[in-house]
Amino acid sequence: MPNTVSTFNIAKALSQFDIEIEYTCSNQITNDSRQVTHGDVFCAVIGSESDGRQFIDQAIAAGAVLVIAQCHHQQQHGNVISRSVESISGEVLTAQIVQFYELNEKLFELAAHYYHQPVNELSLIGVTGTNGKTSTTQIIASLLEHCGKKSAVIGTTGAGSLNSLAPIANTTPGPTELNHLMAGFVEQKIQHVAMEVSSHALDQGRILPSQLDVAVFTNLSRDHLDYHQTMEEYAAAKFSIFSGSAGQTAIINGDDVYGQQWLTLINQPSYVYGRSGQVKTYEQFVYGSNISLSEHGITFTIETSTDQVEVTTQLLGMFNIDNLLAAIATMLALGFSLKDISPAIEKVEPSQGRMEAYSTIGMATAVVDYAHTPDALENALMACREHCQGELWVVFGCGGDRDKGKRAQMGAIAEKYAEHVVITNDNPRSEAPELIANDILSGCSHTEKITVMLDRKQAVRSAIAHAKAEDLVLLAGKGHENNIEIAGQIIEYSERAVVKSLYQAGERP
């Protein structure tokens, strides 16, 4: 991370918004009071779910020396007051509070000024869609690295270079954290950043489409309706990633129904990718064909408007071809040729917890995948079926306090594609695990093939123990995650570590 104490000047940043203060330097600028440390600036934003001004005292007690607080009236803009708070240690701490009108709308711009506009020093690639965001961003970063360009990712698995990811709270960080991360990347001489852009982030303005050099759309299916309420609102949030200007290139899945609709609406440079012949009708396209799957990966042909090449990848599943095509289109948009890209494709490894396969002699192959939506589970099961020589097993659950409508759908999908279904926990949160399992079962009609085993570790061990050597066991939902949330408790659990230990031992559990 950058040398924030000597480099950044909050007074200079505020002066861009007609606010003059004497305070000049600080450490981090953040809108999360829980992240405040001594010397930081805290931005108290009025959000959709909470009012950051309620946490001003908490931030000052934690060491914030300056608070920028959103105000309701423009005439209050720039007013400064002083507040003293007693810390946990009993020390009285004092901070200035600066009023800022419409801070929620201008927070990204303020943070960008504070960190010297790091987005201008980077090539920023945003990837949105229901599924495939993590894999696609990591494939893009891997291709860039293999083509000699320093790159980083921001998303579900963390932020940083692929071999050094640091955990972050949200898939798409808030404006202050995002600018802080990008300033660090600039110091590290990183040239390209591939970031996941969630529908929540787009709806809440955490990232501005105009800041993205390349905007990638993977697909759209049911998810997050607890937040967006309707598919129309969900789709509108996703579509807002496109700036509509010549300064951004759009990468769109031409096989997706929403993608096809959006191609008639956007007016900017674009690449269309897919596995159906219709993508070849567009001026700039990336088409995948002649697909051959084996237990070790996939061989297929990539065709563009100017070139054609046959490649082999160690990734599993047809949907990973889609992810690769999206990444290849992105590379073309960044100025690389297919000749540059093709040798790098064979070197791309699976992302953590994304169709990550484990095997050893005498045991079934296990695949750990993050699939936690109906569409993702169906894609993962179909992919595993393509690579499975025997019977297919699936172990999965559904998260609590989230969209309940998808549970029965996922139950129906699981029994449709797998011979053996084990229903287990997946972050039940405040809900009763038994009731979540019942919701899943309500979509099932072949209960004779279904086992309910709510202890996740036990469920994984049991499925692998009972599967034959030629079978394949899909462990869906946890992927890269390192814990399970049950009844307000965060319990340490890594599915990858559990499976790895079983296969290293080389014996059935």
DSSP string, 284-328: SEEEEEEEEEETTEEEEEEEESS-EEEEEES--SHHHHHHHHHHH
Please answer whether residues 407 and 416 qualify as being in contact, where contact means their C-beta atoms are separated by less than 8 angstroms.
no
Q: Which CATH superfamily is domain 4-106 in?
A: MurE/MurF, N-terminal domain (3.40.1390.10)
Q: What is the pLDDT of residue 229?
A: 61
Is 426 known to sit in a ligand binding site?
A: yes
Q: Does residue 63 come out as left (phi exceeding 0), alpha (psi in the -120 to 50 range) or beta?
A: left
Q: What is the pLDDT of residue 227?
A: 61
Residue 253 one-letter amino acid: N
Strand partners, 66: 41, 96
Is 204 known to sit in a ligand binding site?
A: yes
Class of CATH domain 117-345 = alpha beta
Is 402 known to sit in a ligand binding site?
A: yes
Is 172 known to sit in a ligand binding site?
A: yes
Is 354 known to sit in a ligand binding site?
A: no
Three-state SS at 194: strand
Is 428 known to sit in a ligand binding site?
A: yes
Is 240 known to sit in a ligand binding site?
A: no
Is 171 known to sit in a ligand binding site?
A: yes
Is 18 known to sit in a ligand binding site?
A: no
Ranges of residues in the chain with a pLDDT under 70 are: 1-7, 24-26, 222-229, 295, 506-509
Three-state SS at 271: strand
CATH of 356-505, one of 1.20.120.160, 3.40.50.10680, 3.40.190.10, 3.90.190.20: 3.90.190.20
Is 131 known to sit in a ligand binding site?
A: yes
Q: What is the pLDDT of residue 223?
A: 56
Cite the residue boundaries of each domain of the chain with CATH code 3.40.1190.10: 117-345
Q: How far apart are CA 446 and CA 415, in angstroms?
A: 7
Q: What is the pLDDT of residue 3?
A: 42
Cite the residue boundaries of each domain of the chain with CATH code 3.40.1390.10: 4-106
Residue 295 one-letter amino acid: E
What stretch of H or E contains 368?
A: strand 365-369
Is 353 known to sit in a ligand binding site?
A: no
Is 427 known to sit in a ligand binding site?
A: yes
Is 184 known to sit in a ligand binding site?
A: no
Residue 330 one-letter amino acid: T
The pTM is what? 0.80
Q: How far apart are CA 133 and CA 376, in angstroms?
A: 12
For residue 27, what is the DSSP state? S
Q: What is the pLDDT of residue 508?
A: 65
Three-state SS at 78: coil
Q: What is the pLDDT of residue 2?
A: 45
